[in-house]
Amino acid sequence: MTLWHLHLMATMYIGIGCVHFIKPKAFLRVIPPYISNGKLMVYLSGIAEIGLGIALFFEQTKVIALWGIIAMLFIFLIVHWYMIRDKKFHTTFPLALLWLRFILQFGLMYWAYYYI
């Protein structure tokens, strides 16, 4: 059974993954300094998002992609936590918004888990 919201999820990850290549500086500036080779990480995460999004369209790869998305979102918590802890982001983003983004990651993980 094909669900429109699963396709929405797939399209969302493909789109966000593409933005990693269109505007890499936006993602690069939120990579914590203790993560080496930030530019490579931005591109690899973009590839992961695109690949996992595409894999959601196929029954044979859907469950693996969903687990991959959950793992990826869990890893991305590092970036969201870094933005909450580093005051330099507080002038650009309200702290409440940063917390909302952090919490949203768990909602996105649940959304992926829902289809497993």
What DSSP string runs through 88-103? GGTTTS-HHHHHHHHH
Which residues does 10 contact at the CB level (< 8 Å), separation at least 6? 53, 54, 56, 57
Residue 1 has pLDDT above 60, yes or no: no
Burial degree of 81 (CB within 10 A; 0-12, 13-18, 19+):
middle
CA dihedral 87, 42, 21, 105 (to 10 degrees): -70
The total of structural domains in the chain comes to: 1
pLDDT digits (tens, 9 = 90+) for 26-64: 999 999 999 999 999 999 999 999 999 999 999 999 999
Residue 115 DSSP SS3:
coil
Pull the structure tokens for residue 85: 């802890």
Range of the domain at 11: 4-114
Using a cut of 0.85, tell me whether the model's pTM lies above it: yes
pLDDT digits (tens, 9 = 90+) for 64-75: 999 999 999 999
